[in-house]
Amino acid sequence: MLRHILLTFLLMSSAILVVGQLYLTIPLTEEIAAVFSAEFATAAWAASAFGFAYAIGFLIWGPLSDRLGRLQILVGGLLAMTVVTGLLGFADNLAMFLAGRAAQGFVASSFPPVALSLVSEVLPQRRRALGVSLISFAFLAAAPLAQFVAVGLSMTPTVFMLGVSPFYLILAVGLFLTLPAHSSGAPIAAQANSGKGQSDGLFGNPLIVAGWGAALTVLFGFVIFQAGTAMGIGGGFDPQVVRLVGLPPLALCLLAAPISHRIGAPATARAGLLLCAAGLALSGFGSALTLLGAVLVSGGVGLAVPGLIITLSSAASDANRGLTLSLYTFTLFVGASIASPVATVLASSGPVLVYGVPALLLVIGAAGLTLALSRVTRRSVGIT
């Protein structure tokens, strides 16, 4: 029991420090431009370089953990984060810094799918849904927390990277000592079928495919909302105020487990998608509704993310769970990576279009889950 609590705490701490790197440089763009005497638009690639490498890495690390083992990939990834993040502290030009951010994003992507697979395999059955909810909360809370920290920094971004790097080493050692020996992955590798068999099991399952499609819309809507408010689209509130208002509703992640037990994980994910869509739709009207929209968007994401994770983890087998969750996190963060450019393109059209497009996509994602669940249910009772 104590080991499970410690493991969950270490995974949550790692999630905040690893995933927080994705959002950390967003409010530091001007500072990065000043440090390296670069244009603002070029310095903005500090976030994009990390984000795209982060999304691509998911396609590699999850399947690799199915073969080599969760423990090896998780601890090895954190050790690599220690080195890469520390080296960023010595970057003396923007090109070197951007290359380091891309390497950092690729290495960081080893954590989320492997951590989620571990929670589904190591924790007792009755605690797995809660474990997924807690890790999901840490992933989401990393966004506002990292930006709060970044805004309050009194040092250059490179010095901060150097200072934070030892924490990844501490977490790597802690997880190595805490994880049970059977998490090394040998049983998983022994169970693995051929690549074709794994793919058939994944792409032939409509619930898994619909879950991936819905995942693309979740952080797309979440990040577009934050980007839109940062650009003053709609209510024109201080972005820090919007982040603060949106932080507590993310704790709905913690209620996702009991809700999933009661109504099912797909229904929980669908409710979160629709709640997020409602928040974006309200924000399209601007004014004070933006703050209410922040509550609904964050609350919806808080339900949708763990709901989708539980749905996909339950639908996948041990042999392909890593691949399933890797494709999930890939689509999730591809949505996050393209959100800011899309918001910029749509900004001139006003809040209705900026927030309406992601709201519509979220509704489509929810509808896809409904149709997929219906199809799976019909199959299970022999109806074609």
Query: What are the tens digits of pLDDT across the range 344-383?
Result: 788 888 889 999 999 999 999 999 999 998 888 777 666 6
Residues 157 and 8 both lie in one domain:
yes
Residues 174 and 232 both lie in one domain:
no
Residues 335-372: b if buried by 16+ CB within 10 A, e if exposed: bbbbbbebbeebbeeebbebbbbbbebbbebbebbeeb
268 or 47, greater pLDDT: 268
Domain span at residue 311 reads 194-384
Report pTM. 0.79
Q: Which of 151, 177, 192 is the last residue of a domain?
A: 192
**Domain count within the chain:** 2
Residues 186 and 202 both lie in one domain:
no
Q: Do the beta carbons of residue 54 and residue 103 sit within 8 Å?
A: no
Residues 35 and 72 both lie in one domain:
yes
Residues 95 and 229 both lie in one domain:
no
pLDDT digits (tens, 9 = 90+) for 66-102: 788 888 999 999 999 999 999 999 999 999 999 999 9
Q: Which of 128, 160, 192 is the last residue of a domain?
A: 192
Residues 185 and 198 both lie in one domain:
no
Q: Which of 138, 159, 192 is the last residue of a domain?
A: 192
pLDDT digits (tens, 9 = 90+) for 253-284: 888 888 988 999 999 999 999 999 999 999 98
The enclosing domain of 35 has a CATH number of: 1.20.1250.20
Residues 185 and 224 both lie in one domain:
no
pLDDT at 182: 58
